[in-house]
């Protein structure tokens, strides 16, 4: 498990036990950003974890499927023993879209932490967006999109 050992030595990464890391997993951490991985986590091949700010916490025994994307600007918490299907995406930020005269890129981002409870299952291609709170034991079907209410003051 050379890939797991290499990941565990990176600054900002905490590994609480054994870890399985598939081929082509990519982790990018901004300065002062953190990634915490519980014991027995599995990161499937081709998974991308981008921590632009805050912390991504993945609980013990959670399996992240192949080709998943996790992007954090404020924080993403995934509970223990979760199953994240292949090609799922978890993002805690989205573009502002309030002004139709201004290009979306120029309107900035708004962000809110994402929380996924213990034993939750996200089907293949499921998308969890900013502010979402997925209950413990919840089952999100394939290609499901889940979002949370965001307050205007919660933005970045």
How far apart CA 133 and CA 106 sit, in angstroms, is 28
Assess if residue 18 is contained within a domain: yes
Neighbours of 128 (CB within 10 A): 28
Q: What DSSP designation does 82 have?
A: -
144-148: long-range pairs with CB below 8 Å, 24+:
148/112, 148/114
Which structural domain range is residue 88 located in?
2-97+106-125
- Overall domain count for the chain: 1
Determine which helix (DSSP H) or strand (DSSP E) holds 28, and give its type and residue range: strand 26-29
Q: Please tell me the predicted confidence (pLDDT) of residue 149.
A: 46
pLDDT tens digits in sequence order for the chain, 156 residues long: 557 888 888 999 999 999 999 999 999 999 999 999 999 999 999 999 999 999 999 999 999 999 999 999 999 999 999 999 999 999 999 888 888 899 988 888 889 999 999 999 999 999 999 999 999 999 999 999 998 743 333 333
In a domain, 144, yes or no: no
In the block, tokens 């292949």 appear at: 86
CATH of the domain at 112: 2.160.10
Res 151: pLDDT: 36
């Amino acid at each position: 498990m050379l890939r797991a050992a290499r990941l565990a030595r990176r600054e900002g990464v905490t590994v609480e036990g054994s870890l399985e890391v598939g081929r082509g997993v990519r982790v990018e951490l901004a300065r002062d950003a953190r990634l915490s991985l519980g014991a027995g986590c599995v990161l499937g091949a081709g998974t991308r974890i981008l921590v632009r700010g805050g912390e991504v916490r993945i609980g013990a025994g959670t399996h992240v499927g192949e080709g998943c994307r996790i992007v954090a600007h404020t924080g993403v918490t995934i509970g223990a023993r979760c199953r994240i299907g292949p090609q799922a995406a978890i993002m805690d930020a989205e573009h502002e879209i309030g002004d139709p005269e201004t290009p979306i890129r120029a309107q900035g981002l708004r962000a809110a932490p994402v929380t996924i409870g213990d034993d939750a299952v996200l089907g293949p291609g499921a998308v969890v967006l900013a502010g979402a709170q997925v209950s413990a034991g919840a089952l999100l079907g394939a290609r499901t999109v889940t979002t949370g209410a965001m307050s205007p003051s919660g933005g970045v």
